[in-house]
Chains A and B, each alone.
Chain A
Amino acid sequence: MPLRYAVVCSSNQNRSMEAHNLMNKRGLIVRSFGSGQQVKLPGTSLEKPNIYTFDTTYDFMYKDLYNKDANLYTQNGVLHMLDRNRRIKEKPERFQDCRERFDVIFTVEERIFDQVMEENREKRTNEIVHVINIDVIDNPEDATVAAFMLCELGQKLNATEDLDNSINEILIEFEQKNKQTILHAVSFY
């Protein structure tokens, strides 16, 4: 059975979507999420981010920002990203609201890892889910690099017969190869 993946970042815009995009293209079963309270996008300054709720469509955000300052948001790549995102799915999704089950959940920040681990699922099936965190800086370049890493990792995990038994080795190997420190824990549905 192919594994079901989730990628979680804070706003379900850059890091998770980049990975979503690539993993999807490579034929992995994947969904992406944000774990924050709202969706935050860069604004005119650090103190003034653009904030949306999770049920705002990417398309709306795109048009909204386009009207606000097409030049600025083209320059900083936000429009490009939103454009990419609206081709993938309609709107960002909040991880905490999702009841679907996954085999592996990737997170991109320790804080998000904590949130995912603390998330009280209580679905009582006792199925194992692996939660794996790889720190990714929230910019387009790092997101792209990380997407490739996650995708590669996903493909490796997919290739195993018995995920639970092989994941440790794969992760250790992955850590050594990519010089990345990862957090890995199991949780249960």
Chain B
Amino acid sequence: MSENIQETIVELINQASLYGKDTVRVQHLRHVQELILRKDPSLLDNFLEEVLGFQSDKSPEVRKTIISFIEEACQHDPEVIVKVIDSLQLLLYDDNILVQKKLVVSMITVYRLTLKWLSKSRLSDENVRSMWKSMANVKNSIIAKLDSDNDGLRTVAIKFIEMLALVLSRRSQDSIIPASNEQDFSLNLLQEDHRILCRNKLEQEGKDVMEKLLEFTLSQHLSSVNLIAAMGAIANIARQRPDYMSRVVQTFEALQVNLPPTLVDSQVSSVRKIIKLKLLSLLKHPASLDFQPQITTLLTDLGATQAEVLKHLPKGPTEPKRKLTLSNNEINAKKSKLSTDDVHMFDKDDSNSGISTKGISSGVAHGPSGSSTSMHSSSSHPQHQTAIDITAADLVGKLSIGNVVDLVLVSMLHLPEKMPASFQSTYTPIAAAGTPAQIEHLARLLGAQLTAAGYGKGYELMKSQQQVKTSVDNDMDDGKLASNSTAVARDGSYSSSSADVESKPNVLSAGDNESNDMLSTTAGITTMSTIPGVQQKKMKPFKLADAIKPIEYDEMQRMSTDSFYRILNSEDVCETAGVGHVRKKTMTSLVCLSERSFRDIYEDYIFAEVRKRYDLAFAWLYQEYVYANGYLSILDPNKRKDFTKYDDTLCRLLEYLQEKPDQRDGLFSRLLTSAPLITDNALLVLKRYCQDENRCQFGMNTLRDLVFRRVNMREKFLDILLDFTHNENNSVRTNAIRIAKSLYEKEDFRQSIERHALKFLKHLTASQPPEALFGEDKKASTIPVDTWTEESIRLCLPLYLNLMPLNHQLIQPLATVYTAVNGDIKRVISRVLEVPVRGMGMNSPELLKLVENCPKGAETLVTRIISILTEQTAPSPALVEKVRDLYQKRVSDVRFLIPVLTGLEKREIISALPKLIKQTPPVVKEVFNRLLGLNASPEAPHTSPILPFELLVALHQISPEECELKTVMNATTLCFNERTIYTHNVLAIVIQQLVDINPIPVLFMRTVLQALSFYPKMVGFVMNILQRLITKQAWKQARIWEGFIKCCQKTRPHSFPLLIRLPPPQLKHVLQTAPELREGLIRHIRSMSAPQRSSIPSSILSVIEDNSETVSPEIRIQTIPTTASAPTEQ
């Protein structure tokens, strides 16, 4: 069996030393621990070394396990301590806080066991001595950990000290020892003559650490956990070592009015709760009997009910009850006697009175005023404490109302301006004010302070006694005095009687008796309430609920509303009295806190004369904001931020101001710009305002102001504004664009505005209009949603177009978008371009650049731009240059040239003419308009590079190869129709020039005929031209000849002399073609005089008279029917 276990242990230790999960290794070690210590303790010796080897393991968990191993090993066999003490010492300085903590916890047991074992052991070899020395080191290190930075470490150190205080003291008869502690060591078990342990020294040490612990409990920097642990410790000690009861109760007394200022509210309540629990547990203890008045007073202050207190009084429930009732009924004068009797009675009746120490009975006997302890109390009670008791006992009788009032008045002078926060947090109304117990409590507090300051009966007495005492005792007392005085000094700075402490020395110097009288009244306030407190007992308790009856709800409503109206109506009175601001503040606060009713009234009031009272509205809004933010947290500290009321108020105010017929005061705008917060709903109101046709101007101005002033919401406002630039309503749109343009000039907004404009421009490339175009209310829109209409197309553009003159670069993206959109949109864009392009002007480098780099597909756009630019003014040379360049290099569309025609050279125009006249009639018309300057404005005189006559001549010179004759004919017709330009003079020049050209242009005769039909008086001129044609042998050109004949027909009889001059064959041809001429010609000849007739060659005459058909075949072939009919068309 043993073999097996041994093997298992070896195996486990091996596994634990391998690398692996810490938890697994810990498990192995635990297993080892169990096997060794529970199954076969004889193995401990064998394996102790091995297990201790793990003390330097890298895992803190493993090290902790070793500590519990050691602890259990020591429990099993205390002698092991000698072997493990080094390990313990080592582990105390471990890097890991958790390991240190574990060690301290284990040391509580180990130290106690060590002491117990040593006390019984007769061993005194070097090992044991050195172990004990090491143990003392460890102990001191642990005590020093009270000052550690680590909260948990301090807590366990407290626990360690508790153990020290217990083991290094004696049990007494009335010690209440918990069953589990029954076997614990105490100094009673130690022999006087132990070789290693010196009982007196240990006892002294126990007192020292207890003092240290009490002092620690009262220190200012304590955390709540430490404080609770320390309170638990001292209460435990008091129960097990009743000798300390007085000191412990005293410490609780000091503590209660003197909690560390660092505690937060809930910690204060936790701590107070624990004080209460601990005091109740002490109250149960028979040894606390003497301190019952103090403890009960403390408990009442802590909020314990009388029932609770009674429940915890030790045994015989009737006795304490009677005692309490009695003490409550005590009256000042008889107080001391009564309470003395009272305690005596209690002593007699109490079946457990045997437990009470002699100290108690003697204390009662000697205390002249019934105070619980006296100077003769048990010897283990520290002497110093007795001084307080004596002084307190002395004071109790002197705390009469008169004295207390005087003392309060004197101390008033020293009260601080404000109540210290720490006082406020720990102060509780004194519940049992005026009861003898409370007066005693007060007297004790005063006694403590007086003693600390070195005054009072008790102090004097002690001083004289001390002089007799040994030096050792003196040292000890001094130490305690010091510690106590620190506590009291702190007490002074925090307790309600703080001012009194300072005042005391001055008062005291006046004289002993007098000062004592004065001092004894320190209780002040509390004693004042003594009398009602006493009377209260005799009367039926006053209940507020009995004396009043609730007001009806309606009545309450009416009263509050009435009072509110009164405040409203007191405007003038308040103003004259100079308290207008108070009234304003009151009203706004009321309105903010009230429900609906006040708000409606207030609104009506403000809006009745809004110009005078708008500041009230503003103040109200701010108040709502403050309230919503929870800045008024006193009202409701748990309130979450809730802006619904603020929002509601803001919107209602805005809506009202919006409805106002007269908007010129700008209140709407002012409210928005000065409101502390703009809510989403307020934005909606603003949007509605902006979209109101009549108010949009104000609305947009407001938006602009908001953009400038509310920097944090700037983007939002800007977006709203920009959205309005696409609004369907023209007025809204125009106003929005106006503001947007003005903002655009500021560098800050430039980019966002541009981005927005561009975004909408790009929407055009989408298949249907963007959502954004319709705003929130889609249905209200009259624009179809799913297809582009001219309207929706136009809405996308206005902002952009308006920005273009401000930033010419924008023309480029427009051109890009233009290339991507469909024909409908292209047309709309072209149409709306006029204004922005005019605004940019012909000299804009960006425009020229666009013309130069015309993107593919944007030709029509560029054409349109150029034509807009040149519509009213002559093209600039630069523009002409760019267009010409484009025309020649990239786009050979002649239409490009049209807008800049007037900027071109004559030669260029003439060469382009054939192409130009091939365009559609409107375009051709436009060409001629430009060339002839028909649209030129009166301001800019038209200067065309080509004169009208030159143009017409050029037209005639266009060869049929270049252009169809019909087209040219149409073009010339256009010219003829401009009769203001093509006057007969101009036409004459044209004809004159044309006739000189060889060969004569085909349309020449048509032109002549046209001229003749417009200007019949030109007939003489025409005759000259016909004459010239004869000399030029016009019959050789069939068309001309044909026209010639026609002309002759039309111009008869003027043409007859001309005809006669024709050569006979030609004349014959003429007569054949136009037989009607013959008769006229014959008449003409007959009318001539004889000499004239004789001059006519006979060949001619014979032709005229010869009626036979002899047509020159040559001529007939050349006749073309179409041309023949041409002149008749006109």
The distance in angstroms between the C-alpha atoms of A118 and B312, with both chains bound, is 13
Does B98 lie within 8 Å of A162, measured CB to CB?
Answer: yes
The distance in angstroms between the C-alpha atoms of A181 and B268, with both chains bound, is 11
B residues in contact with A172, CB < 8 Å? 264, 266-267
Within 8 A of B (CB), among A84-128: 110, 113-114, 117-118, 120, 122-128
Does B223 lie within 8 Å of A185, measured CB to CB?
Answer: no
User: Closest CB of chain A to B506's CB: distance in Å?
Assistant: 42
The distance in angstroms between the C-alpha atoms of A172 and B269, with both chains bound, is 13
B residues in contact with A141, CB < 8 Å? none
What are 29 contact pairs spanning A and B, CB under 8 A?
A: A110-B273, A124-B181, A126-B109, A126-B156, A126-B163, A128-B152, A128-B155, A130-B225, A161-B98, A162-B97, A162-B98, A164-B101, A164-B155, A165-B150, A165-B151, A168-B267, A172-B264, A172-B266, A172-B267, A175-B264, A179-B638, A182-B266, A183-B273, A184-B225, A185-B228, A185-B270, A186-B228, A186-B232, A188-B229
Q: Which of A162, A164, A167, A187 has the most CB of B within 10 A?
A: A164
The distance in angstroms between the C-alpha atoms of A117 and B151, with both chains bound, is 20
Q: Which of A127, A168, A175, A182 has the most CB of B within 10 A?
A: A168
Would A163 and B152 be within 8 Å (CB), given that A184-B225, A188-B159 are in contact? yes
Does B156 lie within 8 Å of A128, measured CB to CB?
Answer: yes
Does A126 lie within 8 Å of B178, measured CB to CB?
Answer: no
Does A114 lie within 8 Å of B277, measured CB to CB?
Answer: yes
Q: Per-position contact with B for A24-65: 1 when CB-CB < 8 Å, else 0?
A: 000000000000000000000000000000000000000000
Q: Which of B97, B151, B232 has the most CB of A within 10 A?
A: B151
Chain B interface residue count: which class?
35 or more
Does A126 lie within 8 Å of B108, measured CB to CB?
Answer: yes
Q: B residues within 8 Å of A by Cβ?
A: 61, 97-98, 101, 105, 108-109, 150-153, 155-156, 159, 163, 178-181, 223-225, 228-229, 232, 264-267, 269-270, 273-274, 277, 281, 637-638
Does B179 lie within 8 Å of A122, measured CB to CB?
Answer: yes
Which are the 4 A-B pairs with shortest beta-carbon distances?
Answer: A164-B152, A122-B180, A183-B270, A165-B151
- Interface SS of chain A: mixed
User: Closest CB of chain A to B603's CB: distance in Å?
Assistant: 34
A residues in contact with B153, CB < 8 Å? 164-165
Chain B residue nearest to A127 in the complex (CB) = B105
Task: For B178, give its contact among A113, A120, A184 (CB under 8 Å).
Answer: A120
Within 8 A of B (CB), among A141-189: 161-165, 167-168, 171-172, 175, 179, 181-188
Does B232 lie within 8 Å of A164, measured CB to CB?
Answer: no
The distance in angstroms between the C-alpha atoms of A117 and B281, with both chains bound, is 11
Task: For A122, give its contact among B109, B178, B269 (CB under 8 Å).
Answer: B178
B residues in contact with A185, CB < 8 Å? 225, 228, 270, 273-274
The distance in angstroms between the C-alpha atoms of A126 and B110, with both chains bound, is 12
Does B178 lie within 8 Å of A117, measured CB to CB?
Answer: no
User: Closest CB of chain A to B23's CB: distance in Å?
Assistant: 8
User: Closest CB of chain B to A11's CB: distance in Å?
Assistant: 23
Chain B residue nearest to A175 in the complex (CB) = B266
Chain B residue nearest to A176 in the complex (CB) = B264
The distance in angstroms between the C-alpha atoms of A75 and B12, with both chains bound, is 58
Does B274 lie within 8 Å of A125, measured CB to CB?
Answer: no
Chain A residue nearest to B228 in the complex (CB) = A185
- Interface SS of chain B: helix
B residues in contact with A179, CB < 8 Å? 637-638
User: Closest CB of chain B to A13's CB: distance in Å?
Assistant: 26
Does A117 lie within 8 Å of B274, measured CB to CB?
Answer: yes
Would A168 and B277 be within 8 Å (CB), given that A128-B156, A162-B152, A175-B266 are in contact? no
Does A162 lie within 8 Å of B225, measured CB to CB?
Answer: no
The distance in angstroms between the C-alpha atoms of A33 and B267, with both chains bound, is 25
Chain A residue nearest to B270 in the complex (CB) = A183
B residues in contact with A126, CB < 8 Å? 105, 108-109, 156, 159, 163
Task: For A124, give its contact among B180, B267, B277, B637 (CB under 8 Å).
Answer: B180
The distance in angstroms between the C-alpha atoms of A164 and B163, with both chains bound, is 20
Q: Taking A181-B265, A185-B273 as given, write out 6 further A-B residue pairs in contact, using a Cβ cutoff of 8 Å, ordered by the A residue number.
A: A110-B273, A120-B178, A122-B179, A162-B152, A168-B267, A184-B270
The distance in angstroms between the C-alpha atoms of A172 and B263, with both chains bound, is 10
B residues in contact with A122, CB < 8 Å? 178-181
Does B150 lie within 8 Å of A162, measured CB to CB?
Answer: yes
B residues in contact with A114, CB < 8 Å? 273, 277
The distance in angstroms between the C-alpha atoms of A187 and B156, with both chains bound, is 11
Task: For B224, give its contact among A118, A164, A165, A184 (CB under 8 Å).
Answer: A184
How many A residues, CB 8 Å from partner? 34
Does B229 lie within 8 Å of A186, measured CB to CB?
Answer: yes
User: Closest CB of chain A to B115's CB: distance in Å?
Assistant: 15
Does B105 lie within 8 Å of A183, measured CB to CB?
Answer: no
A residues in contact with B152, CB < 8 Å? 128, 162-165
Does B105 lie within 8 Å of A125, measured CB to CB?
Answer: yes
B residues in contact with A123, CB < 8 Å? 180
The distance in angstroms between the C-alpha atoms of A113 and B266, with both chains bound, is 14
Chain B residue nearest to A114 in the complex (CB) = B277
Task: For A167, give its contact among B225, B265, B273 (CB under 8 Å).
Answer: B225
A residues in contact with B156, CB < 8 Å? 126, 128
B residues in contact with A128, CB < 8 Å? 152, 155-156
B residues in contact with A120, CB < 8 Å? 178
The distance in angstroms between the C-alpha atoms of A186 and B179, with both chains bound, is 22
User: Closest CB of chain A to B282's CB: distance in Å?
Assistant: 13
B residues in contact with A188, CB < 8 Å? 159, 229, 232
The distance in angstroms between the C-alpha atoms of A99 and B812, with both chains bound, is 86
Chain B residue nearest to A172 in the complex (CB) = B264
The distance in angstroms between the C-alpha atoms of A178 and B894, with both chains bound, is 81
The distance in angstroms between the C-alpha atoms of A24 and B698, with both chains bound, is 64
The distance in angstroms between the C-alpha atoms of A161 and B98, with both chains bound, is 9
Chain A residue nearest to B105 in the complex (CB) = A126
Task: For B277, give its contact among A117, A164, A171 (CB under 8 Å).
Answer: A117
Does B155 lie within 8 Å of A186, measured CB to CB?
Answer: yes
B residues in contact with A168, CB < 8 Å? 151, 223-225, 267
Does A164 lie within 8 Å of B61, measured CB to CB?
Answer: no
The distance in angstroms between the C-alpha atoms of A184 and B273, with both chains bound, is 10
User: Closest CB of chain B to A70's CB: distance in Å?
Assistant: 41
The distance in angstroms between the C-alpha atoms of A98 and B267, with both chains bound, is 28
The distance in angstroms between the C-alpha atoms of A165 and B156, with both chains bound, is 12
User: Closest CB of chain A to B166's CB: distance in Å?
Assistant: 12
Q: Which of A113, A120, A167, A185 has the most CB of B within 10 A?
A: A185
Chain B residue nearest to A128 in the complex (CB) = B155
Q: Per-position contact with B for A57-87: 1 when CB-CB < 8 Å, else 0?
A: 0000000000000000000000000000000
Does B109 lie within 8 Å of A124, measured CB to CB?
Answer: yes
B residues in contact with A125, CB < 8 Å? 105, 109
A residues in contact with B638, CB < 8 Å? 179
A residues in contact with B228, CB < 8 Å? 185-186
The distance in angstroms between the C-alpha atoms of A51 and B178, with both chains bound, is 33
The distance in angstroms between the C-alpha atoms of A65 and B454, with both chains bound, is 72
Does B270 lie within 8 Å of A187, measured CB to CB?
Answer: no
The distance in angstroms between the C-alpha atoms of A186 and B224, with both chains bound, is 9
The distance in angstroms between the C-alpha atoms of A1 and B224, with both chains bound, is 25
A residues in contact with B151, CB < 8 Å? 164-165, 167-168
The distance in angstroms between the C-alpha atoms of A167 and B155, with both chains bound, is 13
Does B225 lie within 8 Å of A164, measured CB to CB?
Answer: yes
Chain A residue nearest to B266 in the complex (CB) = A181
Does B179 lie within 8 Å of A181, measured CB to CB?
Answer: no
User: Closest CB of chain A to B1036's CB: distance in Å?
Assistant: 116
User: Closest CB of chain A to B147's CB: distance in Å?
Assistant: 15
Q: Which of B105, B159, B163, B225 has the most CB of A within 10 A?
A: B225
The distance in angstroms between the C-alpha atoms of A118 and B179, with both chains bound, is 16
